Amino acid sequence: MVDLLANRKREQTARGTNRLVSELFDDRRGGSQLKDPTSMAIQLYDQPGFVPLKGPDSSLAELTDFICAAQMARADDAHLGELPHEDESGPSHVHGDPPKDKKRKFFEDERWERKKHRAYEKKHMDDDETIRLPNPMIGFGIPDEPWHMSHRTLPEPAIGPPYFYYENVALAPKGVWNTISRFLYDIEPEFVDSKYFCAAARKRGYVHNLPIHNRFPLMPLPPSTINESLPLTRKWWPSWDPRTQLNCLQTCIASAKLTERIRKALEDWDDEPPLHVQKYVLDECRKWNLVWVGRNKVAPLEPDEIEMLLGFPKNHTRGGGISRTDRYKALGNSFQVDTVAYHLSVLKDIFPGGINLLSLFSGIGGAEVALHRLGIPMKNVVSIEISETSRNIVRSWWEQTNQKGNLIDFTDVQQVNGDRLEQLINSFGGFDLVIGGSPCNNLAGSNRVSRDGLEGKHSALFYDYFRILDLVKCIMGKNQ
DNA sequence: CCAATTATGAGCGTGAGG
DNA sequence: CCTCACGCTCATAATTGG
């Protein structure tokens, strides 16, 4: 059994990837036997498609994977490992009655174990170090606000080339952003709510090494209220619905049955419904992001409307064989273009001739659309996206917007190795920007089934973002 | 027509922040 | 206390495709 506490301690005391690198490196040079988590990690990471860089400079690239894997293995240990026994209260003390039946007892025990586990995690987590979300969530600054941070000092290893930009949900389980930040060269994440850029909230964290002075927003500025964004709803908006902005646009929408129930609940009242009905309707409207489209009629947003709110061109995700539900899903998983573009705007002066882009988890091409709308030419775009329909969307957008550059696409980030990256980098001289938002479904609060954190099946692909970014850094550094 | 695929509706729980 | 969250799974219904 691996010494869980020692590992956790080590993880806590390690400050930054460099420290992790050197620790692991020293272990290896000293010829010491690989410890359990590491060998587990190597097995874990011994997947088809992963090929470490060859040659004299391979050590860093290998170490990168090494660290990822070790981290993952350690996290696994934390899940599987037995917790220290707590002597005082047990389930029977909490639930005074004797268990009613076997099933119930099992259920209660499960709950108890989970609670104990969390209590343990809390007790042993360095609370001071946990990243807290800013309020208001305006990151390092938003357009038309007097308060701006114009300069920051990046840790030395964080500095490009290439520039990079990583995105994920802000409200991830505790500690997730600490881990992300630690891997991404100890850069402090920038947390921004897109409600400052459009009429819908979208609380996201961004880790990037871009300059932050002289940012500018996309023009024209999108409308910032529901009223202005969806003018047809104005006529039907009841005075007792105080919403001026929408909640986060998600991947699921309300059922037709629900909107019908709401209509029925309202039809008995001539003017204002009683308070309890108002509350019911408003709660559902907030929960499902419903808008008023007729007398007593609410409806979920149409895909076109979501496209518009997120800053995509109309019909961006329409047609080409994509179903309606897949449209909602792809849109719900996407960037808010204006928000991202504001951060990327600083690249315009740095690269007047255009950029080479590596886009991971491209989805429907939020990054590409943002750069295009900023007027930053894309010379070569390597886009990696697992969904065929999403790749088709980006491809057809690329053709319809008469892009001059090359769009090269791949399917799976896990298949991208050092050799392939080296080829690409040699063929057009390196990437200027590595951008991507890795899967959030194991981090997002809406997930009641598998909110497993960064080690979750899908969200663990974050480590591939880091692996690929670090490979690019290594290869480009080598060629200088 | 029948089988296969896809769409819909409902229910699902909790952590974190204010 | 309150609100909010780039979701998942299952059963069932609807649609597609040969």
Q: What is the pLDDT of residues A409-438, one digit of tens each?
A: 999 999 999 999 999 999 999 999 999 999
**pLDDT of A386 higher than 80:** yes
Average pLDDT over residues A141-163: 93
The backbone torsions φ and ψ at residue A50, rounded to the nearest 5 degrees and listed phi first, read -90, 115
* Separation between the CA of A270 and the C1’ of B16 (whole angstroms): 40
Q: How many Cβ atoms sit within 10 Å of the Cβ of residue A115? A: 12
**Looking at domain A140-221+313-478, what is its CATH homologous superfamily?**
Vaccinia Virus protein VP39 (3.40.50.150)
**pLDDT of A443 higher than 70:** yes
Kindly state the tokens that stand for A357.
Answer: 């882009």
Average pLDDT over residues A93-116: 37
Cα gap A207→A462, rounded to integer Å: 12
Q: How would you classify the pairing of strands A163-169 and A190-193?
A: unpaired
Closest residue to B6 measured CA to C1′:
A323
* Separation between the CA of A321 and the C1’ of B2 (whole angstroms): 25
Kindly state the tokens that stand for A453.
Answer: 């954190």
**pLDDT of A49 higher than 60:** no
**Scanning the structure block, which residue is given the tokens 């309020």?**
A135
A169 touches strand C (CB under 7 A): yes
Query: Which nucleotide's C1' sits nearest to the alpha carbon of A363?
Result: C6
Instruction: Enumerate the domain spans of chain A.
Output: 4-81+100-124, 140-221+313-478, 226-310
Query: Which nucleotide's C1' sits nearest to the alpha carbon of A173?
Result: B15
A448 touches strand B (CB under 7 A): yes
Q: How confident is the model at residue A81 (pLDDT cuts 50, 70, 90)?
A: very low
Helices A17-29 + A58-80 axis angle, to 10:
100
In angstroms, the Cα distances linking A418 to A11, A135, A384 are 27, 40, 15
A243 touches strand B (CB under 7 A): no
Closest residue to C5 measured CA to C1′:
A445
Q: Where are the beta strands (DSSP E) in A276-344?
A: 291-294, 297-299
A198 is catalytic: no
* Separation between the CA of A302 and the C1’ of C10 (whole angstroms): 26
Query: Which nucleotide's C1' sits nearest to the alpha carbon of A289?
Result: C4
Percent of chain A having pLDDT more than 90?
69
**Sequence-separated contacts (24+) of A150-154 with Cβ below 8 Å:** A150/A212, A150/A213, A151/A212, A151/A213, A152/A188, A152/A212, A154/A185, A154/A187, A154/A209
Query: Which nucleotide's C1' sits nearest to the alpha carbon of A440?
Result: C6
Q: Describe chain A by its helix, strand, coil percentages, rounded to 5.
A: 45, 10, 45
Rg (CA), chain A: 25
Average pLDDT over residues A181-207: 98
